[in-house]
Amino acid sequence: MSPPLPRIAVTAGEPAGIGPELVLRLAASDLDADLVAIADPDQLQATAATLGLAPRLLPYTAGSPAGSRRPGELRVLPVPLRHPVRPGVLDPANAPHVLAMLARAADGARDGEFDAIVTAPVHKGVINDAGVAFTGHTEFFADRAGCKVAMMLVADSLRVALATTHLPLAAVPAAITPAALATVIEILARDLRLRFGLAQPRIAVLGLNPHAGEGGHLGREEIDVIIPTLERLRAKGLQLTGPLPADTAFVPHRLADCDAVLAMYHDQGLPVLKHAGFGHAVNVTLGLPYVRTSVDHGTALDLAGSGRADAGSMIAAARLACRLARPPG
């Protein structure tokens, strides 16, 4: 008997963006998974009608066994909108709807109801405009699970993780402490082993400053924080190189010698990864007690309702979620 399909919770994201369309495009794919959309079913139907799609939306019952799925089929766990939606027009009144979708997915994955979560993009600004402090999916799921996490993006064989995530650039140096850096590296190494099946993951660590500090002439963070932290972790058996100058760390011969790159801040590593794989790259939250993946782009309000959204990253995120939910070995 073949094993049951992985059950994947799919959150529809910002309702005024392209998230509902991405969910429907994913449902139309041949993905071999039991997809459960956490969304407003009426909005999914209305979006499908606008796009000329004819999905088969099925009610979801918690505890029901995962079954086979044909392209176009989608089980729906309803979370109603709070206010009517106009494509491309943000409305803070629907921020509670977005957060309720995320909370239901997180709680279900925590309890073993879902094997993984795949998230369509949300709009951080409109949630904050609603009076809720929100810095992103990554931080939301970490807080909900009560654990430390790390963000990593994957594009084919390129994996780039972040020592800090959604911070103003001026706040980055103070956030890179020995304890924080060690935690991120240990999470990254552990999940590369457990989720990606790499027995001895090789991690290339970037410096914070140009030329990795130029021996202290361009900043002391490498000398005072990064190098001592790497030395301590190497003594524990982790395979770490660096700190490397960021401007040469992504050349092919260096990437051939590592399984993942750890960048010190968001815009140090992600522009390279998105140049290499935009449209099919996947955001992975490491350190959670469950699998969570997401698209590599935002809400694309200008494309909402047009039928022109590219679902490549959403489908790639779901495929990777299925693979990580069934790790090697």
Secondary structure class of 274 (helix, strand, coil): helix
**pLDDT score for 264:** 98
Q: Is 292 a known ligand-binding residue?
A: yes
Residue 137 is assigned to a ligand binding site: yes
Q: Residues 250, 253, 256, CA angle at the centre, nearest 5°?
A: 85
138 is in an annotated binding site: yes
The confidence score (pLDDT) of residue 2 equals: 61
Closest C-alpha among 277, 312, 282 to residue 21: 312
Spell out the domains of the chain, with CATH numbers in brackets.
1-146+288-328 (3.40.718.10), 148-279 (3.40.718.10)
So what's the pLDDT on residue 65? Answer: 72
Q: pTM higher than 0.75, yes or no?
A: yes
pLDDT at site 215: 94
pLDDT, position 328: 57
Distance CA 185, CA 229 (A): 10
Radius of gyration of the chain (CA): 20
Q: CA separation (Å) from 137 to 144, 255, 271?
A: 10, 28, 19
pLDDT of residue 62: 83
Q: Name residue, tokens 């935009």.
A: 278
Nearest by Cα to 322 from 5, 3, 2: 5
Run means of pLDDT, 10 residues per run, the chain, 329 residues = 82 97 96 95 96 93 77 94 95 97 97 96 96 93 95 95 94 98 98 95 98 95 98 98 96 95 97 89 96 94 93 95 80
Report the half-sphere exposure of 107 (CA within 13 A, side-chain side).
Answer: 8
Q: Is 166 annotated as a binding residue?
A: yes
Name 69's Cβ contacts closer than 8 Å, sequence gap at least 6: 5, 31, 32, 33, 34, 35
Q: Is 275 annotated as a binding residue?
A: no
